[in-house]
């Protein structure tokens, strides 16, 4: 074989080896990123479950009856009698 042919074959072999190393490294990084993605998805799912639990708890705590009982017991509030209610009407002024 001529010297140019040996150099060409050696260059191709080096290119193939470097390409193989890059492929292996890329596969490794892909697996790392996929594992991280799976962890993030699991965290998201846990946060969604917690959010739904908190929404249910909020709905249970904000029912009209519960709010009214707390207002009566803890704040001493009460519904006004019909005679205690004063209606104020807004007058519409005609513009000149």
Q: What is the per-residue pLDDT across 11-66, written as a single tens digit (0 to 9) for each?
A: 999 999 999 999 999 999 999 999 999 999 999 999 999 999 999 999 988 888 88
In a domain, 37, yes or no: yes
Q: How many domains does the chain have?
A: 1
DSSP for residue 84: G
| Model confidence, pTM | 0.55
C-alpha torsion angle, residues 26, 31, 34, 40 (rounded to 10):
-120
Question: Tokens 């470097």 correspond to what residue?
Answer: 18
In a domain, 69, yes or no: yes
Most confidently modeled range among 41-45, 56-60, 74-78, 88-92? 41-45
pLDDT of residue 17: 97
Taking the CA of residue 49 as centre, how many other CA atoms within 13 Å lie in the half-sphere pointing to its CB? 6
In a domain, 26, yes or no: yes
pLDDT of residue 84: 86
Whether the predicted pLDDT of 74 surpasses 80: yes
In a domain, 88, yes or no: no
Judge whether 14 and 21 are in contact, CB under 8 Å.
no
Containing structural domain, residue 38: 3-78
């Amino acid at each position: 074989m001529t010297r140019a042919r040996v150099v060409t074959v050696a260059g191709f072999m080096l290119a193939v080896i470097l390409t193989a190393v890059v492929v292996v490294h890329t596969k490794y990084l892909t697996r790392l990123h996929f594992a991280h993605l799976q962890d993030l998805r699991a965290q998201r799912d846990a946060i969604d479950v917690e959010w739904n639990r908190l929404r249910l708890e909020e709905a249970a705590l904000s029912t009209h009856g519960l709010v009214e009982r707390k207002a009566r017991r803890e704040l001493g509030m009460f519904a006004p009698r019909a005679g205690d209610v004063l209606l104020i009407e807004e007058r519409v002024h005609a513009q000149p």
